[in-house]
Structure 1
Amino acid sequence: MYRKFTAHNIFNGYQVLLPKSVLITTLEGAVVDIIDKADAGDEIEFFEGLITPGFINAHCHTELSYLKGVITPNTGLVQFVQQVMKNRGLLNEVKMQAMLLAEKEMYNSGTVAVGDICNTADSIQLKQKSSLYWHNFIEVSGFTDANAIVRLEGAKNIYQEFTSQLPQPVSLSPHAPYSVSKILFSQLNNETAHQLITIHNQECSAENDLYQQKEGEFLSLYKNWGIDISGFQPTGKTSFQSWLPFFDNNQSILCVHNTFTSQADIDFYKKQAEFKAKLFFCLCVNANKYIEQKLPPIEMLRKNNCDIIIGTDSYASNWQLNILEEIKTIQQDSAGTIPLAEILQWATSNGARALQLDNRLGSFEKNKKPGIVFINHLDELQLTSKSAAKRIL
C-alpha cells in the first residue's frame, strides 16, 4: 500500500520540482518515487501550497524550555547568560513538562531531527520516548586551565548517562570561546577526533574584544562569577581565528550564531586546510534578534559558498521553536532576495548532512524516510505572514 502526495509545489530537498509532480511513499513514509501526475493513477492527496521534507533543527537547548518567557529580551549576550544561570533552580517536574511542550511544538511544525545541547541528563527521559531524532551534544565549559580537567570529567559523566540510556549519537562539545580554556580546547580536540561537535561562535562583539584586546563585557562577567582570568593572554585575533586551530583531528563542527563572523574569518578558515575541520554555519536568527537585536552576515556566508544550516536555539532566547519562523525572518531580512528553495535546503538536506543523517533524512530520495511537511499561504514561492508549516507524515 502506498500514499500519493501532490501540491502546487514540491520541494525535494534541493529544488522545487516541475508542476504536477507526485510524491509516492509507503504508509510509513519511506520514499518510493516521484513521478508525473499523469502516471500516478488515483487516490492522490492534494495540498494547496508546498510540500517539503521534514526540517532539521540543527541547534536547540531543549533542557532550557522551562525558561520560556522568563528571560528579558534585548539585553545583550552577557546579561542573557547571567539571567539563564540565575533561573536554573526549578523542580524537575516543571522542566519535564516544558520539554514535552517544546518537543510537541517542534514535531507538529515539521521538525524531524534536532541537534540538542545538553548540560545535564534532564532530557534523557524525554528522548527515550520521543518521535524525533536527536544528536546530543554534551556541552563542556571551564575558562581557567586550573579547573579544565575537572569540568571535562563532569561532562564525561553526563556523556556516559546518555550513551548508557539512549541509542542516539552523543558528542562532547565546547560551549563557547569565552568559556573554554586553552587546555580544555586541547583536551576536547583529543576526545573528539573524527566526530561531530558544535560550538557557539561569535554570538556577540564582546567575544572578539576578549581575544583581541582582553577587553569588553566578559571581564565583568568573570568578575561577577569570581573567575580569575589573570592567566588568560589575548591572541590579538578574533575568537574564531583563536579557537579553530585547536581542532585538527578531522572533526565536523557546527558553528552556531556567527553574528560577528567576518570575511577575514572565512578567509582564515579557507586557508587552514591542514586543520582538516569541516564547518557548517548554523543560523539562529530569531534568537539573535531576541538577545542582540542583530542578525548574522547571511549574504557574506552565501557569497563564500559556506554550508548554511538552521536552528532555533531555546525557549530562553526565542518566542517559538518553529523552523518555518526562522525561514520567514531570513526571507524578510533579505527582502525576498534569497530564493525560498535555497533557504529550505539549509533547513532540510543541508541540516541532514550536517547532523550526518543524509542517508535517511533531508530529501525525497528513494528509501529515505524524511517526513513530509506542508507549508500553506505562499505567494509565488514567497512566505507570507500567514504561512504555517504542518507535519503530514
Structure 2
Amino acid sequence: VEMFDFLQNEGAQKTFTMYKDVYEGQSDTGGNRKSCVPHAPYTVSPRLFSMINEANEEEGITVSIHNQETEHEDNFFLYKSGGFVDFYESFGFPLTHFEPTGKTSIHYALQQMNPRCRTLFVHNTMTGPEDIRAAHSWSDKVYWATCANANLYIENRMPFYQHFIDEGARMTIGTDSLTSNWQLSVLEEMKTISRLQSYVPFEMLLRWATLNGAEALGFENELGSIEAGKKPGLNLLNLDEKLRLSAETNVKRLV
C-alpha cells in the first residue's frame, strides 16, 4: 500500500492511519504478500517514513519506492527548484520547512528507509553511477525496477542501463500501470530495451525479467528459474534467426 503526505510532517499520523486501514483490508494469504511502502522521496516526510519502517519490521518484507523518475525530482533536492516547487504551491502545501539537501533525491530516501528490507527502486531514469554505489553501500538487499515504456510514455527518455551493468546492479523489469503505458507486458518492455539500448544481451534481459524479479519480491524459492523444487511458469519466445528479440517476437505459455 503506497503512502504519501506531501512532505507534511504534521499530517503524517492521519495519513498513515488512513492508509493502514487499507493495508489491513488486504489479504496476505494464498501466495499474496503485502507491505507499506513510501511513494517517492519528494512526497514522504521523515515522520511518515518512520511509521512505514515500524510497520515493516517483519522479516522478508519488500519495500518499493519511485526513484529519480524525472530531472525535477533531483533538482528539488539539490536546489529546491524545478517543477515540484510549483506543484506544491499550486496545491497549497507549504514548503517553508523544506531545505534542499544538496544531493540527489535517492540520498534522502536512503537516509529515511530501512536497509534490512528488500528495497526495490522503481524507474531510475536519472540515476547515475554515484547514486547506484550509494544504494549498494547502504544495503545488500537493493533491486532496481525499470519500466522502459512507461518512461518513454511520460518523459520520452529511459535509464542508461550501462550504468547499472557496470555497477553489478540487480535489475528487474516492470510496466507501471495503464495510466502511463500502452500495455502491461514484460515482453514488450524487453523488446523496447533491446531495440533502443541493444548492447544489453538477451540473456541478461531474461534474467532481469525472471529470476531477479522473483528475488526482489521474495519468491526466489518458488519462481524465476527452472530448478528442482520450484514451480515456475514456462513461456516460449519466438526469437529471430540470430536468437534475438524482434518486433515480431511473441510469447506462448507452455506451463
Alignment of 1:265 with 2:134, yes or no, is no
The whole-number CA distance in structure 1 between the counterparts of 2:209 and 2:39 is: 23
CA contact (8 A) 2:3 2:39 kept: yes
Give the count of matched residue pairs. 252
What's the offset of the Cα at 1:151? 0.8
Q: Which range moved further: 166-175 or 253-262? A: 166-175
Deviation at 1:213, TM superposition (A): 1.0
Aligned to 1:219: 85
| TM superposition shift of 1:165 | 8.0
Q: Tell me which of 119, 144, 155 is aligned to 1:292.
A: 155
Which whole-Å CA distance do the structure 1 matches of 2:204 and 2:108 have between them? 31
- Taking structure 2 as the reference length, the TM-score comes to 0.94
Does 2:175 match 1:319? no
Is the partner of 1:153 in helix, strand or coil? helix
Partner of 1:363: 225
* Corresponding residue SS for 1:353: helix
Q: Offset at 1:186?
A: 2.1
Task: Give the 3-state SS of the residue equivalent to 2:116 in structure 1.
Answer: coil
Residue aligned with 1:343, SS:
helix
AA aligned opposite 2:83: E
1:331 to 194, 199, 219: 194
Q: Deviations along 1:90-110, whole A, 9 cap, x unmatched? A: xxxxxxxxxxxxxxxxxxxxx
Unaligned runs of 5+ in 1: 1-137
Please tell me whether Structure 1 or Structure 2 has the larger radius of gyration of its CA atoms. Answer: 1
Report the Cα distance in structure 1 between the residues aligned to 2:175 and 2:240, rounded to whole angstroms: 22
Quick one: structure 1 residues 213 and 291, their matched pair in 2 at CA, closer, same or farther if it must change by over 3 Å? same
- Report if aligned partners of 1:248, 1:277 keep a CA contact under 8 Å in 2: no
Listed one character per residue, the Cα deviations across residues 104-151 of structure 1 (whole Å, up to 9, x for unaligned) are xxxxxxxxxxxxxxxxxxxxxxxxxxxxxxxxxx00100211111111
- Post-superposition offset of 1:190: 2.3
Cα separation, 1, equivalents of 2:229 and 2:84: 49
CA contact (8 A) 1:310 1:347 kept: yes
What aligned pairs does 1:1-393 form with structure 2 within 5 A after superposition? Answer: 138-142=1-5, 143-163=7-27, 168-193=32-57, 194=59, 195-272=61-138, 276=139, 278-335=141-198, 337-393=199-255
Indicate the structure with greater strand content: 1
Measure the CA separation in 2 of the matches of 1:165 and 1:189. 22
SS across alignment from 1:358: coil
Equivalent residues of 2:210, 2:225 under 8 A apart: yes
CA distance in 1, matches of 2:106, 2:127: 8
CA deviation profile, 1:18-48 (whole Å, cap 9, x unmatched):
xxxxxxxxxxxxxxxxxxxxxxxxxxxxxxx
1:221 offset after TM fit, Å?
1.0
Q: How big is the shift at 1:243?
A: 1.2
Identity %: 37
Q: Give the corresponding residue for 1:65.
A: none
Identify unmatched segments of 5+ residues in structure 2.
Answer: none
8 Å contact from structure 1 (residues 140, 175) kept in 2: yes
Question: Secondary structure in 1 aligned to 2:11?
Answer: helix
Runs (4+) of structure 1 moved beyond 6 Å?
A: none
What secondary structure, in the 3-state scheme, does the structure 2 residue paired with 1:259 have? coil
Greater RCO, 1 or 2 (C-alpha within 8 Å, sep 6+) = 1
1:341 is paired with a residue whose SS is helix
- Paired with 1:245 and 1:198, the residues of 2 have a C-alpha distance of 15
Between the aligned partners of 2:250 and 2:79, the Cα distance in structure 1 is 45
Contact 1:253 1:277 in 2 (8 A): no
Q: 1:306 offset after TM fit, Å?
A: 0.3
| Structure 2 counterpart SS, 1:231 | coil
Preserved contact between residue 251 and residue 277 of structure 1 (Cα < 8 Å): no
Amino acid in the other structure paired with 1:259:
T
